[in-house]
Structure 1
């Protein structure tokens, strides 16, 4: 029997593992309600596999991924047959939906989508035809799951695009049977966006049931088959619905901005719209470049930055290099710069209009590609006044135009399940208010900047210079938080440390906790 290695060695003898299952593998599957007949129909095999997490070889149950019309696997994933919760996978293999070859060979009248190979087996065990079940290759994850070579094979949804081009686009109906948790609901929303609501249906599992395999173990194959057949609901599009027809929204994917001192005062979330304002030169771009860097570093997902006043090269690159290494760019050697650039390359996308005159439609089109193709979860537009206006001044006031734009952006953020942030300059402030921190309604053009967003921030420096010396103190005002999960209005004090070129929270310096 072939021995497979998870790591640099690959498959020891250069061939796929045996398509026969051992008694141990069959016993493991049987404990999850899966018969040997179902394993055989899905061409599940066995082998001795090296598991990096366990630092040992173990007998394993192996799920093969085949290209359409091919008898040779293009990819495999293995689970230890003793039940340990880890996996191994083929290094450098072509990642796709699991069981895609069988589905593409069927009539494509209905395609069920689950979140794991055992869930695929559960539906087949329940009597769903083997050519009607797909599994996403890595399930829904809060972070991307690393492959055996720490590659990016599980980032984004490129495998969905490949499958649609290979013929999956001809399917008449999709039924999503994914996990009943926050990541599963986010995946369901993404799949509905990509595959289209018109053909998309979904199953909500009963309370206490997480997925198809759970249901199979709890209720048996006949009950699972009937449940999936009878409880699939069409994805709502437009109109009036009963409460039972509405899918549960994704649980907010909450991110800390990277300052532990802020505790629950400020949080950021996927699927929301925020605006940042402040007087020119007060540090809006620099502070939020650091905050988003800290979020991306912690959660490891891509971000799209549409920066029209601060260039990606050399300015934002310099900032990110320094934030990543803790060293000023001028003190870094070529190797350090190259390593930092590789990190940036894997996580940052840049929207650059060829004529320097982007409009909102152009921006949202690029943002959609960044989200669907590359897995971006944050879109930042900096600044708003560099976005070309398509307002007809004879028919629409500036306030109406900005309200319309913000409504479209808000819908985009929710529909694409991404955080969209806009940096916008305030109108000129004269008289008594000159030099004070602006309000959201002071943003140039419309009071809609206050009422149409989920969160509003102001970056303000009380003094720029003191006796010729540069002042480095700054304040972030959290002016608005529509949802309690996002924190609450407060004032947070910072200091920009010149030596490290980064902001540090100072609310605890004197024993205080901010306001």
Structure 2
């Protein structure tokens, strides 16, 4: 045989390397691989010592090249099965040099050199095939742990492999091969990662080449490969049709079509202290609870459930002041309140958002609440991280509330005080982004409201005119931004709408 070099064996001996011996060619032909394919891949043969066989054997030698130099080799004994590899060599993808010489849009990656040769035999371009140089792990690296042990992949990406638009994984179908596939998907990125599922009884490309032939192998890896499933990106046809919003009207006839509320959404209400935020929204939610038969969960940290909220709800229930009710009327109202309302009270008056959402979940699941109100926001204990800005903290909290609203299918409402407004804006109605803490109060919610009283007193008399400024509506089903005029009826202690269009 014509010598083209030597390979060092596991026991330190040197073995002669020929171009490709006849016995090696015959063995490869049994596996469906032609001499032409092997020569294209630089495969040669030699007699090599195999520790596993405790002796020398003829072997097919797969040579790894980087920069025109052979940096690593692996040997496969025949007819007995055994493997040996160069110690201290530079580990890289097999056939990487051919791929980097003419980088294609798609590269097919196998788990072994014979599988790589099988793809070339099936008609896949020489510059489109790679094989990993190392064995497959027993299990994938957990998603929450960093990937390690695959430096040859990082090296190849830096050398130019990152320009490939699509990687098609053609590895083994056994448990170890699937573990390696998952690790590779994370390394290359899910967006560019595709894979092949082998037919029943087939575990790799070389086996399919021998059983089904080159045409079927090529058709499967080229046309039958599938993109790695990714949760979060869908065609419109893949998105299930959501149920329509369940719409609630707020109880004012004049507001029909202008304002609606719905479970599965989130709203914020602001306004200067003393301008009636709590009273107005207690009335609106009472109207919805009564009309639609839903339950409400209220965290009223600055207004005591007993006696203050009970007095308000008794008055709304009967339409007259509590002092004018008989004991029987109070008892009947209380029975209805007990049935429809749940109250969140922290034993130490130091509620956190996490604790509050846990309690709200109990109210939703056990008691059927569809409304969760937090009044006011600044009474929650802050859980802001040491390196977390206030804006990031508020954004994180609002995301948690929004997810809760959607997952539990409830309306979550937060009443929040604005920052102090001085100068020319003093006494003016605040905007949503005036809420203390973050502009996220404006951009993270579905609906935004401002309760404002233009004048508290005039001529020594109390002014009862008020405005509900509907500042934001994310969905057209929920109405549209507008100004709604009201006045507070002191005799019945309820708000009445003023038809500003009349």
TM-score (norm 1): 0.52
Residue 457 (structure 1) aligned with residue 449 (structure 2): yes
Deviation at 1:244, TM superposition (A): 4.2
How far residue 242 of structure 1 moved from its aligned partner, in angstroms, is: 4.4
SS at 2:369 equivalent: coil
Which runs of 5 or more structure 2 residues have no equivalent in the other structure?
1-228
Say if 1:315 and 1:244 are closer, same or farther in 2 by CA, change over 3 A: same
Say which of 255, 265, 273 aligns to 1:272. 265
Pair 344,473 (structure 1): closer, same or farther in 2 beyond 3 Å: same
CA distance in 1, matches of 2:310, 2:231: 43
Corresponding position: 1:475 with 2:467: yes
Partner residue of 2:415? 423
Q: Give the Cα separation in 2 of the matches to 1:338 and 1:490.
A: 39
CA distance, structure 1, for counterparts of residue 343 and residue 496 of structure 2:
27
Residue 300 in 1 paired to residue 324 in 2?
Answer: no
Query: Any idea what SS the aligned residue of 2:455 has?
Result: coil
3-state SS of 1:254 partner: coil
Whether 2:471 is the aligned partner of 1:498: answer no
Shift of 1:370: 1.2
2:283 to 278, 284, 290: 290
Measured against aligned partners, the alpha-carbon deviations of 1:380-437 in whole angstroms (never above 9, x if no partner) come to 0000000111102x41111110011101111111111110000000000010000000
How far 1:239 sits from its partner (Å)? Answer: 4.0
**What residue number does 1:327 align with?**
320
Determine the structure 2 residue equivalent to 1:406.
398
Normalised by the length of structure 2, the TM-score is: 0.53
Which of 434, 445, 455 aligns to 2:437? It is 445
Matched, 1:369 2:357: no
The Cα shift of 1:373 comes to: 1.4
How far the C-alpha of 1:241 sits from its partner, in A, is 4.0
Instruction: Give the ranges of 4+ consecutive aligned residues of structure 1 lying more than 6 Å apart after TM superposition.
Output: none
Unpaired runs of at least 5, structure 1 = 1-235
C-alpha separation in 2, matches of 1:315 and 1:366: 22
| Aligned-partner Cα distance in 1 for 2:442–2:238 | 33
1:507 aligns with one of 470, 495, 499: 499
CA RMSD of aligned residues (A): 1.4
Deviation of residue 439 (structure 1)?
Answer: 0.3
Rounded to whole Å, the distance in 1 between the matches of 2:337 and 2:301 is 19
Match for residue 486 of structure 1?
478
Question: 1:324-363 counterparts in 2 under 5 A?
Answer: 324-363=317-356
Shift of residue 467 of structure 1? 2.1
Partner of 1:21: none
Residue equivalent to 2:381? 388
Aligned-residue offset at 1:250:
2.2
Larger radius of gyration: 2
Write out per-residue CA displacement over residues 463-508 of structure 1, whole angstroms, 9 at most, x where no aligned residue.
1111221111100000000000010010000000000000000125
Map 1:148-227 onto structure 2 (within 5 A): none
Query: Residues of 1 paired with 2:485 and 2:301: CA distance?
Result: 27
- Count of paired positions: 274
